[in-house]
Amino acid sequence: MISAVFENEHFFIADKPSGVLTTPSRFAEEDGRRCLGKELQDQLGFQIYPVHRLDFEVSGLVVFAKNADSHRAANGWFEKKQVHKSYQALTTSQSFVHIPADVENNREAISLVPGQGYAWESRQLRGKRRAYESSQGKPCLTHAHFLGTNPAGFLQWDLEPVTGRPHQLRFDLSRHGFPIVGDILYGSSVECAPNTIALRSYRIDFQSCAQAAKFGLPSKIEVIAL
């Protein structure tokens, strides 16, 4: 049984666990992994529409529309960047050892101060497995705030992807020398639980969305962060 963080006649917002797909993969018939969208559709008994997605390894808030009208409206909000999503991540201390010597990177040392904010811009392309920087890529902007160090010694980050490119946050932290804990694909040397990385979507803000109130949405929805 999938519990709703928020539900009304227009939307179902769930807290996706890590290690679960948001929507079926391209090889759905052969893919044995759990899929939140499919399970939710079976549970509700009617077609639902994914508004956005989280990576398989990432946990947190995911929005599904219950009808074509709400799906159309929500797609417009996301396209116009009126929806503001916030994530938290845990990383190790800055190091560039995971970046090959032949990969262009300025390897700039960052003196971290709790509360300090950064605006990270790049041009990213998505390959078969991961994102990489390219002059031919799409422009990306991430707002990152360093929160401090947690009791386990990991660095805590609050992140807002202004653009929504695939793997944007994972790549941005990695290229600045801070691979996410458990994210082996982007250079982490620290393992998490299977199919899990320390990245969580914990808040969605609808305050700037045109007619969000018409669809019964609150100004924001939030769950416990990392």
* Residues 195 and 107 placed together within one structural domain of the fold: yes
- Supply the pLDDT for residue 28: 67
Could you tell me the pLDDT band of residue 167, with boundaries at 50, 70 and 90? very high
* Residues 106 and 180 placed together within one structural domain of the fold: yes
For the stretch 23-50, pLDDT in tens is: 998 776 778 899 999 999 999 999 999 9
Residue-averaged pLDDT of the chain: 95
In this prediction, residues 68-90 reach a mean pLDDT of: 96
* Residues 213 and 177 placed together within one structural domain of the fold: no
Write out the two tokens for 226. 């990392």
For the stretch 53-72, pLDDT in tens is: 999 999 999 999 999 999 99
* Residues 193 and 93 placed together within one structural domain of the fold: yes
Residue 59 belongs to domain spanning: 4-83+206-222
**Which H, E and C letters describe 125-169, residue by residue?**
EECCCCEEECCCCEEEEEEEEEEEECCCCCEEEEEEECCCCCCHH
* Residues 126 and 177 placed together within one structural domain of the fold: yes
| Spatial distance between the Cα atoms of 217 and 209, rounded to a whole number of angstroms | 10
Write out the two tokens for 131. 């994102």
In this prediction, residues 147-174 reach a mean pLDDT of: 96
**What CATH number did the domain enclosing 71 receive?**
3.30.2350.10
* Residues 196 and 90 placed together within one structural domain of the fold: yes
* Residues 97 and 163 placed together within one structural domain of the fold: yes
* Residues 154 and 181 placed together within one structural domain of the fold: yes
> Domains in the chain: how many in total?
2
Residues recorded for the chain = 226
* Residues 161 and 210 placed together within one structural domain of the fold: no
* Residues 185 and 144 placed together within one structural domain of the fold: yes
* Residues 196 and 211 placed together within one structural domain of the fold: no
| Spatial distance between the Cα atoms of 148 and 115, rounded to a whole number of angstroms | 8
pTM for this prediction: 0.95
* Residues 133 and 27 placed together within one structural domain of the fold: no
